[in-house]
Every structure is written in C-alpha cells, then in structure tokens.
C-alpha cells in the first residue's frame, strides 16, 4: 500500500515536471511550417546551429526559404546548398568581406541554384575592389521580383529579354553602360522602383526613359560630386511619383505627376545660371508636388537675377505642396530667409516648413538689412498672408538683426501657425528674451514658440 502511494506520487511529480518543461519550451510545440518561418529571419549561421537542439530540429534549417550568407566562406555556402531541401527560394543574400573574394565560378554556381529554385529576391553585395563581371547565369533568374547589386560590372547576355517579374532594381557602385541600363528599364515591364547609387558610366550624360505604359513610380539616382564631375540627367517617366536626385545636373524632364521630390545637391543644365526661362521651366514642371526636400541650390540666384530675393512667386505656384524641407550649406546662398518668404508665397497650401542651416554663415555681412526691409514693405501690397502654415521650424538660427526682422514678419503673416520651432546654435544664450520678443509679433493666438539649442 505504501509502495503504491509512493509510485503514484513519483508519477505525479514526473508529470508535473514534464508539463513545466513543455510550458517553457512552447516553441517546440509549434508546427514545422511556423518554425521554418521563424528560422527564415535568421542569418544562415545561426539558423544552422539550431540543428543541435534536438532530433526534430536537426534538419529544419535545410527547409529555410530565405538564405542569408553574408560574410560566409564560399565552402560553407556550397555545403549549405548541398544540404538545402526547400523546393523554392524566397530570397538569397550574399555579402563578402574586403579580404574574401569569391571566384566567379562560385558566384555563377550559386546563381544557377537560385534560378532553378525560382528565387524571388536576390542581393549580391561584393565588397570593393571586386571588379569582375556578374556571371551570365544571373539572367537565368527569371522569377526575380527584387534585385540588388553592389560593386562589380554588369553586362547583359545576348539572349536577355528582360526580367518579366522584376519590381525593384537597386544598383550601387556598379559599372554599367548607359545602353545596358536603358535596356534593363525598357525590358522590365513591371519595374516600379529603381535606385542607381554612385554607379560608373562611360558617358557623362544619362537618359532614363520609360514609356507611358511603364509602372516606374520611384526613382533614386545619387552621385557624389567629390568623386566625379556632375553629369547631366534627363528623365522621361510620366508615371513617376517619387524622385530623389543628388549630384546630377537636371535637364528637361517630365514631372507632371510627381508627388514627392528629394533634391539635395543638384544644378540645372545650362538653363540655371544663364537662362532664366530654363530655370523657370524646370521648376514649374514640379507644381504637382506635395513634399519637397531641397538643398541650397533652390536659393542660389541665376546670374541674370541681380535683385533680392529669388522671385519664386512671380513665376510659378506649387498649388499642392504640403511639406517643405530646405538645407542651407553654401555661403553663396545669400538672403536665404527673404527667398524663403518668397517661396512660401508660391506655396499657398503649405502646412509644414523646415529650414536647416547646416554650416554657420556670417549672415549679417552677406545679407543686406536695408534691402530686406525695403523688400518687405513692397510685398505688403498686395497684402501677403499665409492661412495654411501650421508648423515652422528653423534650425541653426543665429538671431541676427536681419533674421529677427524676417522672422517677425513671418509671425505676423502666418495666421494659422500652431508652432514655431527655433533650434539655436549653442553660442546663442538669450533664448528667453528672444521668446518674449517674438511673442509680441505672432498673429496666431494659439502659436507656441519652442526654442532649443543644437
């Protein structure tokens, strides 16, 4: 009787411990499909180490449809692909180190494996100075939806007819001929997103053309001017909605449907410094914009315009612009704040405006106070008032005499303003006096003046 009770007690304790272990290891109770899905978010190195957990986990990682081989040795990759069992690949990613360059034959072998397993997303980041051409087996991956390449050379195969499912193409530091890029764009009928970052071209002029039936919506093209002289960029993409351009001269382009533009370092073709009509034509083509991020090129006056400020409102109106960000770096951007007011007049629907002064300018020396004051009197007729602007942010504010004059004018004319955010330079220590002085000039009773230091 005593032994029976003892056995029963031991059985209950064992059962309780088993339940505790099961509760602690709930992840092992999940179906294999969910476990494989969890493994797909891990680097292949860590996914493979789960094989030591138990017999059930031993081969789960081999069914992983997303293979991340970043910084793995080629021999390790070959071994993993030999053991791989998934019938289809969702993604394949490889990034090598500066000192570990794979042979072209190895890369070709991995690409052929990806092609036979209907890979959808492929990322090959080959650390500089990898100068080999990408294997032609790359173009066998006809199920690709996303392709990202970094470094190396890209040449098309003779029989290439386009990636019929490709939606996103990203090229970074890739040597590619202009005609090759044009062929890629024209033969990929479903292409919506294109990024070309710091790539090398044979010519100094690039033309990106898409037909009216093209789905190209998002274009990012960036070049670093310290590495090469700015080339000329011409775009013909009527369906383009989002555009980022830095380090290129912008020639005449079709921006009829553009909604968001990020234009950092940019200059217009011969029409910017010499021809006012060319300058006006390019900017007026962007009047459908809702969001604009721009550099100080926006406030650099053409040589044929000697007076102050840049007269935006005399030439075009951004009727739909809701958000405006401008970064000022160059010392030639004189009278920047007066030009900023002129730009506000050209944006009647603007709700948020940010102006950042990245580098310190001796602004009272380069900005003419008397001329600014006269100009402000002129634009009172007709009376200037902005009834949509809710948020105004100025970064790098120096609290100079001219800046205060223009800022007071803005406060008097923005009747719907909710917040004025001033980010002062650390050497400016009269923030409380500044807040009290500006409060006397605000036209909006609900406007808050927020002052901080950078």
Identify whether the C-beta of residue 293 lies closer than 8 Å to the C-beta of residue 264.
yes
Residue 89 lies in a domain: no
Residue 301 lies in a domain: yes
Local structure of 163: helix, strand or coil: coil
Residue 18 lies in a domain: no
Residue 370 lies in a domain: yes
Q: What is the pLDDT of residue 101?
A: 76
Q: Which two tokens stand for residue 300?
A: 């650099």
Residue 339 lies in a domain: yes
Identify whether the C-beta of residue 320 lies closer than 8 Å to the C-beta of residue 311.
no
Q: What is the pLDDT of residue 149?
A: 94
Place of tokens 């530091």: 173
DSSP string, 396-451: EE---HHHHHHHHHHHHHBTT--EEEEEE-TT---HHHHHHHHHTT-S-TT-EEEE
Residue 322 lies in a domain: yes
Residue 365 lies in a domain: yes
Q: What is the pLDDT of residue 272?
A: 45
Residue 377 lies in a domain: yes
Identify whether the C-beta of residue 300 lies closer than 8 Å to the C-beta of residue 330.
yes
Q: Which domain holds residue 311?
A: 290-454
pLDDT per 10-residue tile (average), the chain, 454 residues: 54 53 66 90 90 87 94 91 94 83 87 95 81 87 94 87 92 89 88 91 74 78 72 82 85 80 66 51 79 77 47 73 84 62 84 79 50 62 75 85 81 90 80 81 89 83
Q: State the pairing for strand pair 175-176/448-453.
A: unpaired
CB count within 10 Å of CB 406 equals 22
pTM of the model: 0.81
Q: How many domains does the chain have?
A: 1
């Amino acid at each position: 009787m005593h032994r029976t009770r003892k056995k029963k007690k031991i059985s209950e304790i064992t059962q309780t411990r088993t339940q505790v272990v099961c509760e602690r290891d709930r992840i092992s109770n999940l179906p294999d499909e969910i476990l494989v899905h969890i493994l797909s978010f891990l680097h292949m190195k860590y996914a493979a180490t789960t094989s030591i957990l138990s017999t059930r986990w031993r081969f789960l990682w081999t069914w992983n449809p997303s293979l991340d081989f970043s910084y793995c040795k080629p021999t390790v990759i070959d071994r993993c692909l030999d053991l791989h069992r998934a019938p289809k690949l969702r993604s394949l990613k490889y990034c090598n180190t500066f000192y570990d360059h794979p042979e072209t034959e190895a890369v070709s072998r991995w690409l052929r494996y990806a092609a036979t397993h209907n890979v959808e997303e492929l990322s090959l980041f080959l650390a500089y100075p990898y100068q080999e051409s990408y294997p032609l087996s790359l173009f066998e991956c006809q199920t690709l939806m996303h392709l990202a390449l970094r470094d190396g050379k890209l040449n098309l195969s003779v029989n290439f007819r386009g990636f019929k499912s490709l939606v996103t193409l990203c090229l970074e530091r890739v040597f590619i001929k202009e005609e090759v890029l044009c062929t890629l764009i024209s033969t990929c009928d479903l292409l919506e997103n294109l990024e070309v970052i710091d790539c090398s071209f044979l010519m100094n002029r690039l033309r990106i053309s898409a037909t009216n039936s093209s789905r190209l919506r998002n274009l990012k093209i960036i070049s670093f001017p310290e590495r090469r002289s700015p080339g000329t960029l011409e775009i013909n993409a009527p369906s383009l909605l989002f555009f980022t351009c830095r380090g290129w001269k912008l020639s005449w382009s079709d921006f009829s449907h553009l909604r968001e533009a990020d234009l950092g370092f940019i200059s217009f073709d011969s029409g910017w410094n010499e021809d006012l009509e060319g300058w006006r034509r390019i900017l007026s083509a962007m009047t459908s914009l809702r969001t604009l991020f721009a550099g100080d090129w926006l406030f650099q006056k053409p040589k044929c315009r000697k007076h102050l400020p840049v007269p935006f409102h005399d030439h075009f109106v951004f009727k739909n612009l809701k958000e405006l960000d401008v970064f000022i770096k160059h010392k030639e951007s004189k009278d920047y704040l007066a030009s900023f007011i002129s730009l506000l007049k050209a944006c009647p629907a603007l709700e948020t405006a940010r102006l950042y002064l990245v580098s310190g300018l001796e602004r009272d020396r380069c900005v003419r106070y008397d001329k600014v004051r006269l100009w402000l009197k002129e634009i009172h007729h007709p009376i200037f008032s902005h009834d949509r602007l809710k948020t105004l942010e100025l970064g790098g504010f120096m609290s100079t005499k001219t800046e205060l004059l223009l800022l007071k004018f803005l406060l008097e004319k923005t009747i719907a303003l909710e917040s004025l955010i001033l980010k002062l330079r650390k050497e400016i220590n009269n923030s409380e006096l500044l807040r009290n002085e500006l409060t006397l000039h605000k036209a909006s009773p609900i406007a808050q003046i927020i002052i901080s230091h950078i």
